[in-house]
Amino acid sequence: MLTPGPGKKVAVYVTEDQQYHGSAAYAAILDFLFFHGVSGATVTRGIAGFGADHHMHTTRLVDLAVRLPVKVEFIESAEKVEELLPKLHEMVGSGLIEMHDTTIVKPAEKKEKRKSTPEGPPLKREGKAKMMRIYIGENDKWNGKPLYEAIVNGLRAHDIAGVTVYRGILGYGANRRIHKDAKLSLSHDRPILLSVVDTEEKLQNFMPILDEMVQQGLVVLSNVDIIKYTHNYQKAERRQEIQI
């Protein structure tokens, strides 16, 4: 754990495609620091640079983009750095290690864990709501993006309580064409089902937007009984609950 006073700031420079035992070198270095108790480390990716080979690496050159410079930087006590350096020398390969003295004025503090409170018996809440099921195809688009993603974003923007997207493995629609999930099939237009539950008022308010987005599909509304179990009923909910 870092304490105020003298310390060492270490920067390790490698390339993005550099490997160490089959993994990206920067990721392996980060794991090494993490599991050896280093207080914190940061990985940054450069947009241009060159190294000892004097070859320019830049995002402007597509074929060289994978060799962009990556820096892993951390601050630790001198004793801890000396302990880590031999392994870092091995891991960095043809990269560069830079180190200089620094002064730790205020070390980062760990967030205090919330004290766990004994949980009472689960609370059971029941009520009425509406379920909306939206049937579309995986290839359906809206403004250039997958339709199911656009619908999810729209539902979230309109404070709908929640939605789940299911990808079907077999099905057909109004055009009687089979849609299937087959590895060797040339068609990837698998059936998609979005299941939404909220109050009737909120779902009806969203319907005009859905009418604009869905060009071909099926929307079904049905009554549902809501049964919810929770241990955290004494705490404020993070999102707006269905009014039941």
For the segment 72-126, what is each residue's pLDDT rounded down to a tens digit? 999 999 999 999 999 999 999 989 999 999 998 888 776 665 555 555 555 556 7
The type of residue at 30 is: L
Indicate if 94 and 181 belong to the same structural domain: no
pLDDT, position 204: 92
* Residue 10, number of CB atoms within 10 A of its CB: 23
Task: Clarify whether residues 100 and 171 are in a common domain.
Answer: no
Question: Is pLDDT of 148 > 90?
Answer: yes
Residue 99 sits in the same domain as residue 128 = no
Output b/e per residue, 43-62; b: 16+ Cβ within 10 A: eeeeeebebeeeeebbeeee
Tokens 């599991």 sit on residue: 35
Banded pLDDT at 37 (limits 50, 70, 90): confident
Q: For residues 40-54, give the mean pLDDT.
A: 74
57 pLDDT higher than 80? no
Dihedral angle over CA of 148, 150, 156, 162, nearest 10: 0
pLDDT of 229 reads: 59
- Write down the mean pLDDT value for the chain: 79
Residue 140: CATH number of its domain:
3.30.70.120
Pair 95, 129 in one domain:
no
For residue range 178-210, list pLDDT tens digits in order: 555 555 444 566 889 999 999 899 999 999 989
Q: How confident is the model at residue 131 (pLDDT cuts 50, 70, 90)?
A: very high
Do 68 and 161 have their domain in common? no
pLDDT at residue 85, as a whole number: 94
Q: At residue 236, does pLDDT exceed 50?
A: no
Residue 212 lies in a domain: yes
Report yes or no: 159 and 243 within 8 Å, Cβ to Cβ: no
The residues pairing with 5 across neighbouring beta strands, listed in sequence order, are: 104
pLDDT at 232: 54
Helix boundaries (H) for the chain: 25-35, 78-92, 147-157, 200-213
Query: pLDDT confidence of 157, banded at 50, 70, 90?
Result: confident
173 has pLDDT over 70: no
- Taking residues 130-149, what's their average pLDDT? 90
Rounded to two decimals, what is the model's pTM?
A: 0.47
Q: Is residue 159 part of a domain?
A: yes
Domain span including residue 67: 5-104
Is residue 158 located within the same domain as residue 77? no
173 versus 158: the higher-pLDDT residue is: 158
Which of 40-49, 69-78, 159-168 reaches the highest mean pLDDT?
Answer: 69-78
Q: What is the pLDDT of residue 152?
A: 92
Q: How many domains does the chain have?
A: 2
Residue 238: per-residue pLDDT: 43
